[in-house]
Amino acid sequence: MKNQYKELLILGITIEGRPFRPSDWSERLCGALAIYNRNGRWEYSEYAQPVIYEGKIGVHVKTALKDINPAMYQFMMDFAYNNQLKVIPTGKVTYLEESPVPEETEVAWSVTKLTLALLLHQWKIRFKNTGH
């Protein structure tokens, strides 16, 4: 049997136990997957949402994002790793040995390229919604 997790919690606490700054880091990180809905309101993706867990700021990430948008999943995991944030696996799923378990996908994007792509995408959405 193999165990896999359906969800991860990136907690805004460094390995040294200090709170991660800035305080709105979780909204910024989740904003990479957020969209403007039909009413022009900011809407977070179901795959990455800011949360407060035991009084600490965090990001709830569904591991299904790994299959849907591997680059964004890798970006979020790299963010947690590079900033030495605690990652807590939740929602354990058990597979039988003969059940195929999706393999990890490794995608190497620079933060600059990913940021530029996300900004261009958001600009296109805003430009489209203004009627130009």
With 60 as the cut, is the pLDDT of residue 109 above it? no
Instruction: Please provide the average confidence, as pLDDT, over all residues in the chain.
Output: 77
- Checking if the pLDDT of 82 tops 90, the result is yes
Beta-carbon neighbour count of residue 41 at 10 Å? 8
Q: Identify which of 105, 18, 30, 21 has the alpha carbon closest to the alpha carbon of residue 61.
A: 30
pLDDT tens digits, 7-57? 899 999 988 889 999 989 999 999 999 999 899 898 999 999 999 988 899
Distance CA 9, CA 48 (A): 10
Confidence of residue 61 (pLDDT cuts 50, 70, 90): very high
pLDDT at 97 over 50: no
Q: Pick the range with the lowest mean pLDDT from 11-20, 41-50, 86-95, 120-129.
A: 120-129
Residue 5's pLDDT is 74
Burial class (CB in 10 A: 0-12, 13-18, 19+), 117: middle
